Amino acid sequence: MKKVIEKRIDIAFYLKLFPLRFHKDAYWKSKSVVCNRSVRMLEDNFEKRPIPKTECNTKEIDENIRFAERHGISGTPTMILPDGSIYQGTIDSEKLIRLIDESSNTKKTR
């Protein structure tokens, strides 16, 4: 995503944290990132640095899990493009830009 943003400032990503059950601490870490609205905590976690455990009342992570279940999303990363198409797994930046452009054009012509 960072490479896409470096190349195309007109593309934005909306991140929805979806902790996979087999990652032991993913749920509380996701809640901590959301509660703090912290990109730094997210990046620290991805880089295997410790993040503080934050307690707060948020339903956002549970809602993300239910959304994923309803739409058959079972892994990360998963991309949902402007036309609603879903891609699971990693995608190199050039291909992702092409898919976004094609998806955006398809959405406009509907």
Going 87 to 6 to 103 to 39, the CA torsion angle's sign is positive
pLDDT band at 108 (very low <50, low <70, confident <90, very high): low
The predicted model gives 28-49 an average pLDDT of: 94
Each domain of the chain, given as residue ranges in start order, spans 1-15+76-110, 19-72
Indicate the pTM of the whole model.
0.81
Are 61 and 34 in contact by the 8 Å Cβ rule? The answer is yes
**Mean pLDDT (whole number) for 41-68:** 94
What mean pLDDT do residues 77-93 have?
93
92 pLDDT exceeds 70? yes
Helix 60-70 × helix 26-36 angle, to 10°: 120
pLDDT band (50, 70, 90) for residue 109: low
